[in-house]
Amino acid sequence: MTDLELGLRDVAAHLDFPPTPALLGGVVARLDRRRHRRRGLALAVAIGVAALAVAFAVPASRASLLRFFHVRGATVSVIDGLPPLTSHRSLGQPIPLDTAAFRLLLPSGRRPESVHAADGGYWLRYPGLLLFEFQSGGGPEVLKKATLGKTKVEYVQVRGEPGIWIGGRHALYLPGGPPVAAGRALIWQHGPLTLRLEAAVGLERALAIAQSVR
Amino acid sequence: MQPPGEEMLVERACRGDPAAFEELVLAYQSLAFRTAFVIAGDAADAEEAAQDGFVKAHRALRRFRRGQPFRPWLLAIVANEARNRRRSRGRRAALALRAAAEPGGAGNDPEEAALAAERRERILTAVERLRDDDRDVLACRYLLELSEDETAAALGIARGTVKSRTHRALSRLEEELR
């Protein structure tokens, strides 16, 4: 090997590549969409929104799809225009904590103010924090979210499992309902469950809360 | 580096096992992204190219010849995506690599370290001034440390061409450094 080749190898050893983005979520989301399209899933129609439909839920603006993020049971579509959103979100009557179909995870083990069974999962209400938990093993997606290109969306890890941080206003699509306005949220997988935390906190605090669930 | 049990993973992925393909994505996402980055010269383009490359590779699995190495086959798809993006931008992308800061650890001669850093910068700048095909072959062979076969696959050229082009690119780089 010549000096020049050794020099190039030395350069290679000192290169500062940009960090590799987490590609798996985007790849899986796109492959899932292809599978769903091929099967023509009636179920997808039944829950009202297929992933692409989220992007085209705004006939007036014809929002175009910029990017996808995906964790099990949830997809975030980054689009360039949000549909009209409602802020009303009725969670229905509270239920006792211990009547849920699976053991609910609680931040720092704290009991919530109220628990509501709705939207294919359970809503746990705390002061300044709303947690949604659902079982997401292989079924159709329960959560679909659309956000503007300018909103920060990124993959994160919570205790080694994949998650998505949405750093601003976005549309939340739940089965059979209209798009609802939502604020900062963290979605992550935890064993067989997928959780969504919404609170007016930054990423660091959201991760700390997510890591405390037990 | 080949992930353990790659042949089995590829076999399972070809039979339609999504978990096996996901493991291949995880194993190769860094190499795919870096390959796309040195060709496209832009992190956002590289991310798209790598993601598109994996999706296209998944579609093409039925055509993958069993027993062949998976890595060069994947790199060929990803590199093609990256070249398409570079072409569509209509201008030559800068390599956009920076030499990492050298920590001045104990035992390091600061003057020597500064000279080495300067030399790396000079080489990188000179590589950047080369024409695209020269730069690509050097980036694949020396910066990504791909084999000749992998470089041939990634650049869509014959192995013999990799050898001759590398030789030519090194000569031109030497001239740039004079």
pLDDT digits (tens, 9 = 90+) for B84-118: 888 877 655 565 545 445 554 445 677 887 888 88
State whether residue B119 is helix, strand or coil. Answer: helix
In one-letter notation, the amino acid at residue B136 is D
pLDDT, tens digit (0-9, with 9 covering 90-100), for A199-211: 888 899 999 999 9
Q: Compute how many other C-beta atoms are within 10 angstroms of the C-beta atom of residue A10.
A: 15
* Cα torsion angle, B38, B43, B49, B50, sign: positive
With CB atoms and an 8 Å threshold, state whether B98 touches A23: no
Q: Which residue has the tokens 């998505």?
A: A164
With CB atoms and an 8 Å threshold, state whether A31 touches B170: no
- Specify the pairing of strand A74-79 against strand A143-148: parallel
Chain B, window 23-82: residues with a beta carbon less than 8 angstroms from a chain A beta carbon: 25-26, 29-30, 32-34, 37, 43, 46-47, 50-51, 54-55, 58
> Which DSSP string do the residues of chain A spell out, in sequence order?
--HHHHHHHHHHHTB-PPPPP--HHHHHHHHHHHHHHHHT-HHHHHTS--HHHHHT--TTTTPPEEEEEEETTEEEEEESSPPP-B------SEE-GGGSSSPPP-BTTPPPSEEEEETTEEEEEETTEEEEEEE-SSS--SEEEEEETTS-EEEEEETTEEEEEE-S-EEEE-TTS--EEE-SEEEEEETTEEEEEE-S--HHHHHHHHHHB-
In angstroms, rounded to a whole number, what is the distance separating the alpha carbons of residues B36 and B80?
A: 9
Backbone angles phi, psi at A183, to 5 degrees: -105, -155
With CB atoms and an 8 Å threshold, state whether A11 touches B54: no
Total beta-carbon pairs less than 8 A apart between chain A and chain B:
86
Chain B residues with CB inside 8 Å of A24's CB?
22, 25-26, 29
pLDDT, tens digit (0-9, with 9 covering 90-100), for B119-163: 888 998 899 889 989 999 999 999 999 999 999 999 999 999 999
Chain A residues with CB inside 8 Å of B46's CB?
18
The residue in chain B having the minimum alpha-carbon distance to the alpha carbon of residue A11 is: B120
In angstroms, rounded to a whole number, what is the distance separating the alpha carbons of residues B39 and B62?
A: 27
Chain B residues with CB inside 8 Å of A12's CB?
142-145
**To 5 degrees, how large is the angle CA A2–CA A17–CA B122?**
40
The span from the first CA to the last CA of chain A, in angstroms, equals: 57
Give the pLDDT of residue A119.
Answer: 82
The residue in chain A having the minimum alpha-carbon distance to the alpha carbon of residue B119 is: A7
Chosen from B74, B97, B175 to mutate, greatest number of chain A CBs within 10 A: B97
pLDDT category, A26, cuts 50, 70, 90? confident
The mean-pLDDT minimum among A135-139, A148-152, A161-165 falls in A135-139
**Average pLDDT, whole number, for chain A?**
77
pLDDT, tens digit (0-9, with 9 covering 90-100), for B48-69: 899 999 999 999 988 888 778 8
With CB atoms and an 8 Å threshold, state whether A23 touches B54: yes
Residues whose CB is less than 8 angstroms from the CB of residue B108 and which lie 6 or more positions away in sequence, other chains included: B102
The mean-pLDDT minimum among A6-15, A53-62, B23-32 falls in A53-62
Contact status, residue B93 vs residue B43, Cβ threshold 8 Å: no
Q: Does A5 touch chain B (CB under 8 A)?
A: yes
